[in-house]
Chains A and B, each alone.
Chain A
Protein backbone atom coordinates (compact mmCIF):
# COMPACT_ATOMS: atom_id res chain seq x y z
CA UNK A 1 0.00 0.00 0.00
CA UNK A 2 1.37 3.42 -0.87
CA UNK A 3 1.50 6.24 1.60
CA UNK A 4 -1.28 8.02 -0.22
CA UNK A 5 -3.58 5.06 0.11
CA UNK A 6 -2.70 4.71 3.76
CA UNK A 7 -3.64 8.33 4.38
CA UNK A 8 -7.09 7.88 2.91
CA UNK A 9 -7.69 4.64 4.78
CA UNK A 10 -6.46 5.65 8.20
CA UNK A 11 -8.28 8.60 9.60
CA UNK A 12 -7.75 10.35 12.89
CA UNK A 13 -10.79 11.07 14.93
CA UNK A 14 -11.35 14.07 17.17
CA UNK A 15 -11.56 13.08 20.78
CA UNK A 16 -11.56 14.52 24.27
CA UNK A 17 -8.73 14.45 26.75
CA UNK A 18 -8.90 15.71 30.29
CA UNK A 19 -5.96 17.80 31.37
CA UNK A 20 -6.34 18.09 35.10
CA UNK A 21 -7.75 18.53 37.68
CA UNK A 22 -4.72 16.60 38.90
CA UNK A 23 -2.33 17.42 36.08
CA UNK A 24 1.12 18.49 37.34
CA UNK A 25 1.30 21.31 34.78
CA UNK A 26 -1.99 22.80 35.88
CA UNK A 27 -0.63 24.11 39.21
CA UNK A 28 -3.79 23.35 41.05
CA UNK A 29 -7.22 22.01 40.50
CA UNK A 30 -7.96 23.33 37.03
CA UNK A 31 -9.54 20.93 34.59
CA UNK A 32 -9.15 21.62 30.90
CA UNK A 33 -11.26 19.61 28.50
CA UNK A 34 -9.22 19.38 25.34
CA UNK A 35 -10.70 18.50 21.98
CA UNK A 36 -7.79 17.17 19.99
CA UNK A 37 -7.11 15.86 16.53
CA UNK A 38 -3.95 13.83 16.82
CA UNK A 39 -1.80 16.18 18.81
CA UNK A 40 -3.37 19.37 17.45
CA UNK A 41 -5.64 21.24 19.83
CA UNK A 42 -9.05 22.08 18.40
CA UNK A 43 -10.68 23.48 21.51
CA UNK A 44 -9.83 24.12 25.16
CA UNK A 45 -12.70 24.32 27.57
CA UNK A 46 -11.88 25.10 31.19
CA UNK A 47 -14.02 23.42 33.82
CA UNK A 48 -13.88 25.55 36.94
CA UNK A 49 -15.17 25.33 40.46
CA UNK A 50 -13.03 22.65 42.05
CA UNK A 51 -11.88 25.13 44.68
CA UNK A 52 -14.79 27.56 44.53
CA UNK A 53 -15.69 28.76 48.03
CA UNK A 54 -18.02 31.62 47.14
CA UNK A 55 -15.90 34.23 48.86
CA UNK A 56 -18.18 36.93 47.45
CA UNK A 57 -21.18 35.46 49.27
CA UNK A 58 -19.18 35.04 52.48
CA UNK A 59 -18.23 38.72 52.30
CA UNK A 60 -21.91 39.71 52.47
CA UNK A 61 -22.08 38.00 55.84
CA UNK A 62 -18.79 39.28 57.30
CA UNK A 63 -17.58 42.58 58.67
CA UNK A 64 -15.03 44.61 56.74
CA UNK A 65 -12.15 43.52 58.97
CA UNK A 66 -13.05 39.88 58.37
CA UNK A 67 -13.17 40.29 54.60
CA UNK A 68 -9.47 41.18 54.57
CA UNK A 69 -8.67 37.71 55.88
CA UNK A 70 -10.70 35.98 53.19
CA UNK A 71 -8.76 37.63 50.39
CA UNK A 72 -5.54 35.86 51.43
CA UNK A 73 -7.12 32.70 50.15
CA UNK A 74 -7.73 33.98 46.63
CA UNK A 75 -4.35 34.58 45.07
CA UNK A 76 -2.25 33.19 47.90
CA UNK A 77 0.99 34.26 46.22
CA UNK A 78 -0.10 37.90 46.28
CA UNK A 79 -1.83 37.75 49.63
CA UNK A 80 -0.44 41.05 50.88
CA UNK A 81 -1.57 42.89 47.76
CA UNK A 82 -5.05 41.35 47.98
CA UNK A 83 -5.33 42.50 51.60
CA UNK A 84 -4.17 45.94 50.55
CA UNK A 85 -6.90 46.17 47.92
CA UNK A 86 -9.66 45.58 50.46
CA UNK A 87 -8.07 47.94 52.98
CA UNK A 88 -7.75 50.65 50.34
CA UNK A 89 -11.40 50.34 49.35
CA UNK A 90 -12.52 50.53 52.98
CA UNK A 91 -10.26 53.53 53.55
CA UNK A 92 -11.70 55.14 50.42
CA UNK A 93 -15.19 54.64 51.79
CA UNK A 94 -14.35 55.98 55.24
CA UNK A 95 -12.27 58.79 53.71
CA UNK A 96 -9.28 57.96 55.89
CA UNK A 97 -5.79 58.92 54.75
CA UNK A 98 -3.22 56.46 56.10
CA UNK A 99 0.18 57.76 57.20
CA UNK A 100 3.17 57.91 54.88
CA UNK A 101 4.86 55.21 56.91
CA UNK A 102 2.02 52.82 56.21
CA UNK A 103 2.04 53.63 52.51
CA UNK A 104 5.75 53.00 52.16
CA UNK A 105 5.77 49.77 54.18
CA UNK A 106 2.79 48.47 52.21
CA UNK A 107 4.58 49.21 48.96
CA UNK A 108 7.84 47.55 50.05
CA UNK A 109 6.10 44.40 51.24
CA UNK A 110 3.92 44.42 48.13
CA UNK A 111 7.00 44.43 45.92
CA UNK A 112 8.67 41.71 47.99
CA UNK A 113 5.50 39.70 47.50
CA UNK A 114 5.74 40.26 43.77
CA UNK A 115 9.35 39.05 43.69
CA UNK A 116 8.44 35.97 45.76
CA UNK A 117 5.55 35.21 43.44
CA UNK A 118 7.65 35.65 40.29
CA UNK A 119 10.36 33.46 41.87
CA UNK A 120 7.87 30.67 42.32
CA UNK A 121 6.58 31.17 38.80
CA UNK A 122 10.12 31.05 37.39
CA UNK A 123 10.89 27.80 39.18
CA UNK A 124 7.64 26.22 38.12
CA UNK A 125 7.90 27.41 34.54
CA UNK A 126 11.25 25.68 34.19
CA UNK A 127 9.84 22.58 35.81
CA UNK A 128 6.88 22.50 33.42
CA UNK A 129 9.27 22.54 30.50
CA UNK A 130 11.40 19.78 31.98
CA UNK A 131 14.12 21.72 33.80
CA UNK A 132 13.73 20.66 37.41
CA UNK A 133 16.80 22.58 38.63
CA UNK A 134 15.05 25.94 38.33
CA UNK A 135 12.60 24.91 41.01
CA UNK A 136 15.32 24.51 43.64
CA UNK A 137 17.15 27.68 42.65
CA UNK A 138 13.98 29.74 42.87
CA UNK A 139 12.81 28.28 46.15
CA UNK A 140 16.19 28.90 47.75
CA UNK A 141 15.82 32.64 47.07
CA UNK A 142 12.12 32.79 47.78
CA UNK A 143 12.77 31.32 51.20
CA UNK A 144 14.65 34.48 52.20
CA UNK A 145 11.60 36.63 51.48
CA UNK A 146 9.35 34.28 53.39
CA UNK A 147 11.71 34.51 56.36
CA UNK A 148 11.49 38.30 56.27
CA UNK A 149 7.70 38.06 56.24
CA UNK A 150 7.72 35.55 59.06
CA UNK A 151 9.75 37.83 61.26
CA UNK A 152 7.58 40.88 60.63
CA UNK A 153 4.09 39.47 60.16
CA UNK A 154 4.29 36.10 61.90
CA UNK A 155 3.22 34.27 58.77
CA UNK A 156 5.04 33.26 55.63
CA UNK A 157 2.31 33.11 53.03
CA UNK A 158 -1.10 34.33 54.16
CA UNK A 159 0.23 37.31 56.01
CA UNK A 160 -2.78 39.35 57.07
CA UNK A 161 -0.53 42.29 57.79
CA UNK A 162 -2.92 44.96 56.53
CA UNK A 163 -5.92 46.18 58.44
CA UNK A 164 -8.31 48.97 57.40
CA UNK A 165 -6.52 52.12 58.52
CA UNK A 166 -2.97 50.84 58.41
CA UNK A 167 -0.91 47.89 59.53
CA UNK A 168 -1.49 45.41 62.29
CA UNK A 169 1.80 46.35 63.98
CA UNK A 170 5.11 47.98 63.16
CA UNK A 171 7.86 46.29 61.16
CA UNK A 172 10.44 44.16 62.95
CA UNK A 173 13.72 46.01 63.79
CA UNK A 174 15.59 43.61 61.49
CA UNK A 175 13.27 44.24 58.55
CA UNK A 176 15.29 46.95 56.83
CA UNK A 177 18.63 45.15 57.10
CA UNK A 178 17.31 41.80 56.03
CA UNK A 179 15.50 43.32 53.06
CA UNK A 180 18.71 45.05 51.96
CA UNK A 181 20.61 41.81 52.37
CA UNK A 182 18.06 40.06 50.23
CA UNK A 183 18.26 42.67 47.47
CA UNK A 184 22.05 42.41 47.47
CA UNK A 185 21.80 38.63 47.28
CA UNK A 186 19.08 38.55 44.65
CA UNK A 187 20.90 40.94 42.32
CA UNK A 188 23.53 38.27 41.82
CA UNK A 189 20.87 35.59 41.33
CA UNK A 190 18.83 36.93 38.43
CA UNK A 191 21.86 36.81 36.10
CA UNK A 192 22.19 33.22 37.26
CA UNK A 193 18.56 32.60 36.31
CA UNK A 194 19.30 34.11 32.92
CA UNK A 195 22.30 31.87 32.38
CA UNK A 196 20.31 28.83 33.38
CA UNK A 197 17.10 29.32 31.44
CA UNK A 198 16.76 32.53 29.41
CA UNK A 199 19.38 31.77 26.78
CA UNK A 200 18.85 28.03 26.82
CA UNK A 201 18.26 26.69 23.29
CA UNK A 202 15.62 24.15 24.32
CA UNK A 203 13.82 26.76 26.38
CA UNK A 204 13.83 29.29 23.54
CA UNK A 205 12.51 26.72 21.08
CA UNK A 206 9.70 25.80 23.41
CA UNK A 207 8.67 29.41 24.06
CA UNK A 208 9.47 31.67 21.11
CA UNK A 209 6.51 32.09 18.78
CA UNK A 210 4.33 29.90 20.98
CA UNK A 211 0.91 31.02 22.17
CA UNK A 212 0.89 34.40 20.47
CA UNK A 213 -1.58 36.90 21.91
CA UNK A 214 -2.13 40.11 19.99
CA UNK A 215 -2.61 43.45 21.72
CA UNK A 216 -6.16 43.85 20.38
CA UNK A 217 -7.16 40.45 21.75
CA UNK A 218 -5.48 41.18 25.06
CA UNK A 219 -7.59 44.33 25.49
CA UNK A 220 -10.80 42.73 24.28
CA UNK A 221 -10.42 39.71 26.56
CA UNK A 222 -9.66 41.95 29.54
CA UNK A 223 -6.21 40.42 29.99
CA UNK A 224 -3.98 42.22 32.47
CA UNK A 225 -0.66 41.91 34.25
CA UNK A 226 2.51 40.43 32.76
CA UNK A 227 0.47 38.52 30.17
CA UNK A 228 -0.96 41.75 28.77
CA UNK A 229 2.38 43.54 28.95
CA UNK A 230 4.02 40.77 26.95
CA UNK A 231 1.63 41.77 24.16
CA UNK A 232 2.42 45.46 24.43
CA UNK A 233 -0.76 46.40 26.30
CA UNK A 234 0.31 48.96 28.87
CA UNK A 235 -1.95 47.89 31.72
CA UNK A 236 0.09 48.46 34.87
CA UNK A 237 -2.27 49.80 37.54
CA UNK A 238 0.74 51.00 39.53
CA UNK A 239 1.55 53.36 36.65
CA UNK A 240 -1.88 54.46 35.50
CA UNK A 241 -3.80 54.58 38.78
CA UNK A 242 -1.08 54.80 41.45
CA UNK A 243 -2.01 53.83 45.00
CA UNK A 244 0.01 53.65 48.23
CA UNK A 245 3.54 54.95 47.51
CA UNK A 246 3.79 54.15 43.81
CA UNK A 247 3.40 57.80 42.85
CA UNK A 248 6.69 58.68 44.57
CA UNK A 249 8.92 56.02 43.03
CA UNK A 250 10.46 55.88 39.61
CA UNK A 251 10.10 52.60 37.76
CA UNK A 252 9.69 51.35 34.24
CA UNK A 253 6.72 49.37 33.09
CA UNK A 254 7.98 46.13 31.56
CA UNK A 255 6.61 46.08 28.02
CA UNK A 256 7.36 43.63 25.24
CA UNK A 257 5.52 43.46 21.96
CA UNK A 258 5.94 39.99 20.49
CA UNK A 259 3.08 38.56 22.59
CA UNK A 260 4.48 35.03 22.77
CA UNK A 261 5.39 32.87 25.74
CA UNK A 262 8.95 34.15 25.66
CA UNK A 263 7.78 37.78 25.90
CA UNK A 264 5.70 36.98 28.97
CA UNK A 265 8.75 35.32 30.47
CA UNK A 266 10.90 38.38 29.80
CA UNK A 267 8.28 40.70 31.31
CA UNK A 268 8.40 38.88 34.64
CA UNK A 269 12.20 38.81 34.73
CA UNK A 270 12.23 42.55 34.08
CA UNK A 271 9.56 43.12 36.69
CA UNK A 272 11.76 41.49 39.31
CA UNK A 273 14.48 44.03 38.51
CA UNK A 274 11.98 46.88 38.69
CA UNK A 275 10.56 45.64 41.98
CA UNK A 276 14.05 45.62 43.45
CA UNK A 277 14.57 49.16 42.20
CA UNK A 278 11.32 50.27 43.87
CA UNK A 279 12.33 48.68 47.16
CA UNK A 280 15.77 50.29 47.01
CA UNK A 281 14.25 53.72 46.52
CA UNK A 282 12.06 53.34 49.59
CA UNK A 283 13.90 51.14 52.05
CA UNK A 284 16.29 53.81 53.38
CA UNK A 285 13.64 56.46 53.81
CA UNK A 286 10.76 54.82 55.59
CA UNK A 287 9.05 57.85 57.16
CA UNK A 288 8.42 57.94 60.89
CA UNK A 289 4.85 57.94 62.07
CA UNK A 290 1.94 55.94 63.31
CA UNK A 291 1.29 52.53 61.80
CA UNK A 292 -2.44 52.71 62.22
CA UNK A 293 -5.11 55.34 62.00
CA UNK A 294 -7.76 54.62 64.59
CA UNK A 295 -10.98 53.26 63.15
CA UNK A 296 -14.17 52.37 64.97
CA UNK A 297 -14.41 48.80 66.20
CA UNK A 298 -17.43 48.30 63.94
CA UNK A 299 -16.72 49.75 60.53
CA UNK A 300 -19.74 50.98 58.61
CA UNK A 301 -19.12 52.29 55.12
CA UNK A 302 -21.42 55.08 53.96
CA UNK A 303 -24.08 54.28 51.40
CA UNK A 304 -22.60 54.04 47.93
CA UNK A 305 -20.31 52.14 45.62
CA UNK A 306 -16.55 51.93 45.94
CA UNK A 307 -14.02 50.48 43.57
CA UNK A 308 -10.31 49.95 43.99
CA UNK A 309 -7.83 48.62 41.46
CA UNK A 310 -4.44 47.22 42.42
CA UNK A 311 -1.73 45.38 40.53
CA UNK A 312 -1.08 41.92 41.96
CA UNK A 313 1.68 39.68 40.67
CA UNK A 314 -0.85 38.27 38.20
CA UNK A 315 -2.48 41.44 37.00
CA UNK A 316 -5.29 43.77 37.85
CA UNK A 317 -7.34 42.95 40.91
CA UNK A 318 -10.50 45.01 41.28
CA UNK A 319 -12.61 45.16 44.41
CA UNK A 320 -16.14 46.43 44.02
CA UNK A 321 -18.03 47.15 47.22
CA UNK A 322 -21.66 48.17 47.29
CA UNK A 323 -22.65 49.43 50.72
CA UNK A 324 -26.05 50.25 52.11
CA UNK A 325 -24.57 51.82 55.22
CA UNK A 326 -24.59 48.77 57.48
CA UNK A 327 -21.69 46.87 59.02
CA UNK A 328 -21.75 44.30 56.22
CA UNK A 329 -21.34 45.08 52.55
CA UNK A 330 -24.39 44.58 50.37
CA UNK A 331 -22.35 43.13 47.54
CA UNK A 332 -18.64 42.52 47.02
CA UNK A 333 -17.15 41.56 43.70
CA UNK A 334 -13.56 40.57 43.15
CA UNK A 335 -12.41 41.07 39.62
CA UNK A 336 -9.59 38.57 39.68
CA UNK A 337 -6.80 38.76 37.12
CA UNK A 338 -6.59 35.00 36.62
CA UNK A 339 -10.25 34.69 35.64
CA UNK A 340 -10.00 37.13 32.76
CA UNK A 341 -6.61 35.82 31.70
CA UNK A 342 -7.97 32.28 31.56
CA UNK A 343 -10.71 33.32 29.16
CA UNK A 344 -8.15 33.97 26.41
CA UNK A 345 -6.46 30.56 26.72
CA UNK A 346 -8.76 28.79 24.27
CA UNK A 347 -8.36 31.57 21.72
CA UNK A 348 -4.54 31.46 21.62
CA UNK A 349 -3.90 27.72 21.97
CA UNK A 350 -6.15 26.54 19.12
CA UNK A 351 -4.11 24.92 16.38
CA UNK A 352 -1.09 24.38 18.61
CA UNK A 353 0.31 21.24 20.14
CA UNK A 354 -0.46 19.96 23.63
CA UNK A 355 3.15 20.60 24.67
CA UNK A 356 2.74 24.22 23.57
CA UNK A 357 -0.33 24.52 25.75
CA UNK A 358 1.77 23.46 28.74
CA UNK A 359 4.31 26.18 27.93
CA UNK A 360 1.58 28.77 27.42
CA UNK A 361 -0.12 27.87 30.68
CA UNK A 362 3.20 28.11 32.51
CA UNK A 363 3.68 31.62 31.16
CA UNK A 364 0.17 32.63 32.27
CA UNK A 365 1.07 31.79 35.87
CA UNK A 366 -2.38 30.67 36.99
CA UNK A 367 -3.29 30.46 40.63
CA UNK A 368 -6.51 28.48 40.68
CA UNK A 369 -8.06 29.80 43.92
CA UNK A 370 -7.73 33.25 42.31
CA UNK A 371 -9.79 32.09 39.34
CA UNK A 372 -12.41 30.22 41.36
CA UNK A 373 -12.65 32.55 44.38
Chain B
Protein backbone atom coordinates (compact mmCIF):
# COMPACT_ATOMS: atom_id res chain seq x y z
CA UNK B 1 0.00 0.00 0.00
CA UNK B 2 1.22 3.50 -0.75
CA UNK B 3 2.03 5.92 2.03
CA UNK B 4 -0.87 8.19 1.06
CA UNK B 5 -3.40 5.39 1.37
CA UNK B 6 -1.88 4.31 4.67
CA UNK B 7 -2.14 7.85 5.95
CA UNK B 8 -5.86 8.01 5.17
CA UNK B 9 -6.61 4.79 7.06
CA UNK B 10 -4.44 5.68 10.02
CA UNK B 11 -5.99 9.15 10.28
CA UNK B 12 -9.24 7.49 11.23
CA UNK B 13 -7.68 5.76 14.23
CA UNK B 14 -7.40 8.70 16.56
CA UNK B 15 -7.44 12.45 16.93
CA UNK B 16 -4.51 14.81 16.43
CA UNK B 17 -2.28 12.28 14.71
CA UNK B 18 0.69 14.10 13.27
CA UNK B 19 2.40 12.91 10.09
CA UNK B 20 5.85 13.84 8.90
CA UNK B 21 7.87 12.46 6.04
CA UNK B 22 10.91 14.69 6.10
CA UNK B 23 14.13 12.89 5.31
CA UNK B 24 12.82 9.40 5.86
CA UNK B 25 11.73 6.64 3.51
CA UNK B 26 8.93 5.60 5.86
CA UNK B 27 5.70 7.32 6.70
CA UNK B 28 6.24 8.75 10.16
CA UNK B 29 3.50 9.14 12.70
CA UNK B 30 3.92 11.04 15.96
CA UNK B 31 1.53 10.21 18.77
CA UNK B 32 1.15 11.60 22.27
CA UNK B 33 2.08 9.31 25.12
CA UNK B 34 -1.54 9.06 26.24
CA UNK B 35 -2.57 7.77 22.81
CA UNK B 36 0.39 5.44 22.31
CA UNK B 37 -1.04 2.16 23.50
CA UNK B 38 -4.47 2.62 21.92
CA UNK B 39 -3.04 3.64 18.54
CA UNK B 40 -0.46 0.81 18.51
CA UNK B 41 -3.12 -1.68 19.41
CA UNK B 42 -5.27 -0.52 16.48
CA UNK B 43 -2.28 -0.52 14.13
CA UNK B 44 -1.85 -4.20 14.83
CA UNK B 45 -5.48 -5.29 14.75
CA UNK B 46 -7.01 -3.12 11.99
CA UNK B 47 -7.67 -5.56 9.10
CA UNK B 48 -6.28 -3.20 6.46
CA UNK B 49 -3.09 -2.45 8.39
CA UNK B 50 -1.98 -5.49 10.43
CA UNK B 51 1.37 -4.16 11.57
CA UNK B 52 2.35 -7.37 13.32
CA UNK B 53 6.15 -7.26 13.04
CA UNK B 54 7.98 -4.62 15.11
CA UNK B 55 11.37 -4.89 13.49
CA UNK B 56 13.11 -2.11 15.36
CA UNK B 57 12.44 -0.24 18.58
CA UNK B 58 14.82 2.62 19.27
CA UNK B 59 15.23 4.82 22.30
CA UNK B 60 15.95 8.47 21.53
CA UNK B 61 17.16 11.55 23.30
CA UNK B 62 16.21 14.60 21.24
CA UNK B 63 17.83 16.98 23.70
CA UNK B 64 14.67 18.46 25.19
CA UNK B 65 12.61 15.32 24.94
CA UNK B 66 13.11 11.62 25.42
CA UNK B 67 11.17 9.07 23.47
CA UNK B 68 10.88 5.89 21.52
CA UNK B 69 10.75 5.17 17.79
CA UNK B 70 8.90 2.07 16.63
CA UNK B 71 9.56 0.63 13.17
CA UNK B 72 6.61 -1.53 12.23
CA UNK B 73 5.92 -3.77 9.27
CA UNK B 74 3.01 -5.88 8.14
CA UNK B 75 4.14 -9.37 7.22
CA UNK B 76 1.03 -9.80 5.11
CA UNK B 77 0.91 -6.53 3.16
CA UNK B 78 4.62 -5.64 3.41
CA UNK B 79 3.97 -2.00 4.19
CA UNK B 80 5.93 -0.26 6.90
CA UNK B 81 5.48 2.73 9.18
CA UNK B 82 7.40 4.55 11.87
CA UNK B 83 5.68 5.60 15.10
CA UNK B 84 7.27 8.15 17.40
CA UNK B 85 6.36 9.02 20.93
CA UNK B 86 7.97 11.73 23.02
CA UNK B 87 7.94 12.80 26.63
CA UNK B 88 9.28 16.06 27.99
CA UNK B 89 9.75 14.78 31.52
CA UNK B 90 13.47 14.07 31.86
CA UNK B 91 13.38 13.46 35.62
CA UNK B 92 10.87 10.65 35.60
CA UNK B 93 9.99 9.75 32.00
CA UNK B 94 7.22 7.20 31.79
CA UNK B 95 5.55 5.65 28.77
CA UNK B 96 3.11 2.81 28.28
CA UNK B 97 4.62 -0.55 27.42
CA UNK B 98 3.60 -2.15 24.15
CA UNK B 99 4.91 -5.61 25.00
CA UNK B 100 1.40 -7.03 25.17
CA UNK B 101 1.04 -6.06 21.49
CA UNK B 102 4.48 -7.06 20.22
CA UNK B 103 6.33 -9.42 22.56
CA UNK B 104 9.67 -8.32 21.13
CA UNK B 105 9.16 -5.01 22.92
CA UNK B 106 9.86 -6.73 26.23
CA UNK B 107 13.61 -6.90 25.62
CA UNK B 108 13.82 -3.68 23.64
CA UNK B 109 12.06 -1.73 26.40
CA UNK B 110 14.46 -3.18 28.95
CA UNK B 111 17.33 -1.98 26.78
CA UNK B 112 15.79 1.48 26.49
CA UNK B 113 15.26 1.63 30.25
CA UNK B 114 18.89 0.64 30.72
CA UNK B 115 20.31 3.33 28.45
CA UNK B 116 17.75 6.15 28.62
CA UNK B 117 15.97 5.63 31.93
CA UNK B 118 12.52 5.61 30.38
CA UNK B 119 10.13 3.62 32.53
CA UNK B 120 7.41 1.55 30.94
CA UNK B 121 4.05 1.00 32.62
CA UNK B 122 2.81 -2.59 32.68
CA UNK B 123 6.18 -4.07 31.72
CA UNK B 124 6.53 -7.51 33.35
CA UNK B 125 10.21 -7.33 34.27
CA UNK B 126 11.74 -3.88 33.91
CA UNK B 127 15.37 -3.84 35.06
CA UNK B 128 18.89 -3.11 33.88
CA UNK B 129 19.66 -5.48 31.03
CA UNK B 130 23.26 -4.86 29.99
CA UNK B 131 24.65 -2.72 32.79
CA UNK B 132 25.05 -3.73 36.41
CA UNK B 133 22.11 -2.96 38.73
CA UNK B 134 24.14 -0.39 40.69
CA UNK B 135 25.12 1.66 37.63
CA UNK B 136 24.43 5.37 38.08
CA UNK B 137 22.97 7.37 35.20
CA UNK B 138 21.65 6.65 31.73
CA UNK B 139 24.58 6.35 29.32
CA UNK B 140 22.95 7.01 25.98
CA UNK B 141 21.40 10.28 27.08
CA UNK B 142 23.11 13.30 25.60
CA UNK B 143 23.80 14.87 29.01
CA UNK B 144 25.52 11.77 30.41
CA UNK B 145 29.07 12.41 31.59
CA UNK B 146 31.55 9.73 32.52
CA UNK B 147 35.03 11.16 32.57
CA UNK B 148 36.72 7.86 33.32
CA UNK B 149 35.28 5.76 30.50
CA UNK B 150 34.35 8.22 27.77
CA UNK B 151 36.59 9.97 25.29
CA UNK B 152 34.92 13.26 24.49
CA UNK B 153 36.20 14.93 21.34
Contact = CB atoms under 8 A, between A and B. Distances in A.
Interface of A: 48-49, 52, 54, 56-57, 61, 92, 217, 219-224, 233-235, 240, 302-307, 309, 316, 318, 320, 322, 331, 333, 335, 339-340, 342-344, 347, 372
A333 B140 CA distance: 11
Q: Name the 6 nearest CB pairs between A and B, nearest first.
A: A304-B23, A222-B104, A49-B130, A343-B107, A335-B56, A333-B58
B34 to A, nearest CB: 24
Interface residues of B, number: 38
28 contacts: A49-B129, A49-B130, A49-B131, A52-B130, A219-B75, A220-B52, A221-B103, A222-B53, A222-B54, A222-B103, A224-B55, A303-B23, A304-B23, A306-B23, A306-B24, A306-B25, A331-B60, A333-B56, A333-B58, A333-B59, A335-B56, A339-B108, A340-B107, A343-B104, A343-B107, A344-B103, A347-B103, A372-B130
Nearest to A343: B107
Interface in B38-69: 52-56, 58-61, 69
Contact of A320 (B58, B61, B139, B153): B58
Given A61-B153, A333-B56, A307 B71 contact: yes
B52 A302 contact: no
B63 to A, nearest CB: 9
A331 B58 CA distance: 10
Contact of B103 (A48, A220, A234, A316): A220
Contacts of B24: 304-307
B75 A233 contact: yes
A304 B129 contact: no
A208 B131 CA distance: 37
B5 interface: no
Contacts of B111: 339
B64 to A, nearest CB: 14
- Majority secondary structure of chain B interface residues (helix, strand, loop or mixed): loop
Interface string B6-46: 00000000000000001111101000000000000000000
B120 to A, nearest CB: 15
B22 A240 contact: no
B78 interface: yes
Given A220-B52, A320-B58, A339-B108, 17 more contacts: A49-B131, A57-B139, A57-B150, A61-B151, A220-B103, A221-B103, A305-B82, A307-B56, A318-B55, A318-B56, A320-B56, A331-B58, A331-B61, A333-B58, A339-B111, A343-B103, A372-B130
A220 B102 contact: yes
A222 B23 contact: no
B106 interface: yes
Nearest to B61: A331
